[in-house]
Structure 1
Amino acid sequence: MFKPLYIASALALLAGTASAETLTVYTSQPQDQMTQVIEAFRKDHPEIQVELFRSGTTEVLAKLQAEFAAGNSPADVLLIADAVAMTKLKNENRLMPFPEAKVDGIDPALIDADKTFFATKLITTGIVYNTDNVKQPPKSWADLATPEIASQTIMPSPLYSGAAVIHVGTMEQQPEFGAAYMEKLADGGAVAGQGNGTVLEAVARGEKSYGVLVEYMAMNAKAKGSPVDFVFPSEGVTAVTQPVAIVAGTNVPDAAKAFIDWQLSKAAQEQSVAQGYFPLLADVKAPAGYPEVASVKVMPADNAKLLADDKAIKEGFADLFGG
C-alpha cells in the first residue's frame, strides 16, 4: 500500500511567484513520473505552481470522498487510472466539464462524451513472465488459465488497484471468458497480491513465473535488466486510459484547464512515451520495443456496467482469492 505524499513543486521561479496561481493535483501516477510531469508542465506554464497529493487510486478516491463529505476538497485536478471512478464522480456532479479542451488527434472513444474527463495515455494489461523460469511463454489468456501455468500466476487485486477492477470487470464482460475465467484461475492455484507493484516484484524475483500486469511496468523493468518480458494476449488486452479531470468548484479553473490541455498536447504525449506508455496521438511513436498502438487489440468495456458491477466484481474476486 502506498503512503500518501504531499509534495509542493520546488520549481516556482523567483520572479512572479507572489502572483502565481497554485494548482492542486490529486493523482495515482507513480511519484517519479509525476515529478517529471510537473517539471515539464512548469516549463510551459511558469505562472502556475503545483502542489501534489499522490497515493494509490483507492486511497486518492477515499481522501476525495471524505473531503466532499466534509464540505469541500482542495483538489483542483484529478489524474487517476480509473475511468469507472471518473464516471461515478461525473454522475455525482463532482467534475467540471471542459468542452473547449484541445482534443484534436485523439480517438473520440477515449474521451468522455460530455468532455468532463479525458484520456491521457493508453495503459494495457497483459501477461508478464520471468524469462529465467519460462522457456515457452504463453500466447493467450486461455494459456494462463491452464493448471500448470495458473499455479505459478499472481495478479493484482481489485481491492487495491483501479486497473485491476477494470481488468477483472472487462474480462467478465467478454462472452468467451465471463466469470468462469476467474474461477478457473483460482481453481488452478493462481493467487492475488495487492497492487501491480507486488505482481512485478514476485515475477521479477522468480517467486512466481507469470503475472497479470500493466505493460509499462513490465517493459520498464525489462529495459532496466530485470528478467521479465511481456505478452499482449491474442484475445486482446484490457485497458485503462489514466483520465484527467477538473474538480468542480476549483478556485483556479484557468490553471486547471491549462493543465488538461497540456496533458493532451504532443509534448506531454512524447513525455508519456519516454516514461514507457503508449501515446494517444497517431503522430507520436510508441516506446521502443512496443507494438504500434494500431496493432494492439483492446477488448471492449462498458464503463457504465463496470460502475454498476463494481461491488460485485470486488466481492466476487475476494471470495475466490481472499481479501
Structure 2
Amino acid sequence: MATILVLALSLIMVLTGCGSSNKGGTSGSTDEKLNVMLYSSLKDTQLAALKEKFTAKYPHVNMDYYTAGTGNVMTKLATEQQAGGISADLIWVGDPTNYINFKADDLLYPYDSPAAKEIPDKFKDPDRMYISGRLIMLGFVYNTNMLTAEEAPKTWDDLLKPEFKDYVGMTDPTSAGTTFNTVAGLVQHPNYGWDYFRALKENGVKLENGSSGVVNKVGAGEYKVAIGVDYIARSVKAQGSPVDFIYPADNIPVIESPIAIIKNTKNLEAAKLLYDFIISEEGQQILLEEYTFPINPNMALEDAIPVTEAEAKMLPVDNQKLAEDKVQILETFDSIFK
C-alpha cells in the first residue's frame, strides 16, 4: 500500500505546468451557468449538506463533488493527471502535509478570501495558498453496551490493557489522512514511538479501510473501542448507535483540514465562491450541524471540548518533518501491521 502511495504522490508532484493555463475563471454574469468540482475526504452527508445550501444561495453554480478517504483522493488526482488533466477545482482533505507538498510544487492558486477575516492567521498559509476549513480531533470511540464510561480508555496506554486485547480497531493510515497524522504524531513523541505501535499490534489491534467503517464496527460490537474521529462518532451516536466518544486525557490529535484552489482550474470564479462559502459563518454552521468543529473562533460545537483546551492538550506534530518522512512512516507502519 505504501508503495502505491509513493507512486501517487510522485505523480501529483508533476501537476504544476500541466493542464489548462487559464487563470481568469469564467464570466461574472449570474446569467451564465458556472461549474465547480470539489475533491474531499469529508463524509457524503457533510458535502451533500454544503452542496444543498451553496447551490440554493448561488443557483447559477452547478456544484459537484467526489468523496473518499484521503489516500484514495490522492490516488484519483494522480490517475487523472496521467490521463491528461485533473477535474477538481478545489481540494479539501484531512492530511495537512499534502498541502505542504502541493505548495512546494506550485500546484495551488493563492487566494486571500474576504470571508477569512475572522479566522486566526495560525490557520492560514502565510502565502494564502490554503486555509483550514475545519478542525478534526481523534480520540477513543467505545461501545456503550460493552463498556461503561469508567471502563473506557482515557489514555493512549490504556489501549494496551489486557481487557482490550483483540477488541481494538483503527483506520489504516494509508487510506485516512487524519489517522496518518495521529500515527505520525505518536511516532514523533518521545513517550510512544514505534515501540508503542508494536505493542498495539501485540495486543491485537486491527486495521479498517475507512474512518466511518471502524466507528460503525464499534457500534456493531466487533470492537470494544477504536481510535476514531470525533464528528463521525457524534454522527453515528445521533443515529442511535451504541457508541460514545472520549478525548484522550492528553496528547489529543488536533488536525487542521485545509481547503485550496487548484492553480490551473478552469472555473476560478465558481471555485472562489465555494471557497468563500465553506469558511463563512453560513458554511461553518452547516459543519456544526454535521457535528464538525468549525474553524471560525466565534462558533462552538455543543458538548465538545473547547478549542483552547484541546490546543493546550494537543499531540504535537511537526508537519514539515511529516511531509518529508511520509513514505518512510507508512512503510514502517506496514511492516508492523501487514
Structures share a fold, TM > 0.5? yes
2:251/2:316 contact within 8 Å kept: no
Residue number in structure 1 paired with 2:67: 54
Deviates more, 1:68-77 or 1:264-273: 68-77
The question of 1:293 aligning with 2:314 is answered no
Q: Secondary structure at the match of 1:119?
A: strand
Deviations 1:93-121 (A, max 9, x none): 11111134532222322222221111111
SS in 1 for 2:172: coil
CA RMSD of aligned residues (A): 1.8
- The aligned runs of 1:14-29 (5 Å cut-off) are 19-29=32-42
Please list the CA deviations of residues 24-61 of structure 1 after superposition, one character each: whole Å capped at 9, or x if unmatched: 21222112221110111123322322122233222221
Residue from 276, 288, 298 that aligns with 2:291: 276
Q: Does 1:197 align with 2:207?
A: no
Find the aligned partners of 1:109 and 1:64 in 2 and give their Cα distance: 28
Deviation of the 1:231 alpha carbon: 0.9
**Matched residues in 1 for 2:237 and 2:216: separation?**
12
Q: Distance in 1 between matches of 2:52 and 2:318?
A: 35
Structure 1 portions without partners, runs of 5+: 1-15
Distance 2:85 2:315 in 1: 37
Shift of residue 133, structure 1, vs aligned partner: 0.9
Return the offset for 1:233.
0.3
Count of matched residue pairs: 306
SS at match of 1:222: helix
Specify whether residues 289 and 95 from structure 1 end up closer, same or farther in structure 2 by C-alpha distance, changes over 3 A only: same
TM-score normalized by the length of structure 1 = 0.89
Tell me the SS of whatever aligns to 1:186.
Answer: helix
Residues 158/253 of structure 1: CA separation in 2 closer, same or farther (3 Å cut): same
SS in 2 for 1:313: helix
Q: Which amino acid aligns with 1:103?
A: A
Report the CA distance shift for 1:147/1:308 in structure 2 as closer, same or farther (over 3 A). farther
**Cα deviation, residue 240, structure 1:** 2.5
2:256 aligned with 1:241, yes or no?
Answer: yes
Whose relative contact order is higher, 1 or 2, with alpha carbons under 8 Å and at least 6 apart? 2
Q: CA deviation at 1:156?
A: 0.5
Partner of 1:64: 77
Look up the match of 2:153.
138
Pick the aligned partner of 1:311 from 315, 327, 331: 327
Name whichever of 293-302 and 184-193 sits farther off.
293-302
Counterpart Cα distance in 2 of 1:74 and 1:220: 30
CA distance in 2, matches of 1:23, 1:71: 19
* Aligned counterpart in structure 2 of residue 154 of structure 1, from 169, 176, 192: 169
Distance in 2, matches of 1:282 and 1:159, equals: 31
Task: Identify the match of residue 256 of structure 1 among 243, 250, 271.
Answer: 271
Q: Sequence identity of aligned pairs in percent?
A: 29
- 1:111 — aligned with what? 124
Which amino acid is the alignment partner of residue 293 of structure 1? V
Give the secondary-structure state (helix, strand or coil) at the position aligned to 2:53.
Answer: helix
CA contact (8 A) 2:136 2:255 kept: yes
Which residue does 1:4 correspond to in 2? Answer: none
CA distance in 2, matches of 1:177, 1:278: 27
With the length of structure 2 as denominator, give the TM-score of the two structures. Answer: 0.85
Taking structure 1 as reference, are residues 299 and 101 closer, same or farther at Cα in structure 2, changes over 3 Å only? farther
Q: In structure 2, what residue type is equivalent to 1:185?
A: L
**CA positional deviation for 1:192:** 1.3
In structure 2, the gaps of 5 or more residues are: 1-28
Separation (CA, whole Å) in 2 of partners of 1:142 and 1:114: 39
Distance in 1, Cα, partners of 2:64 & 2:293: 26
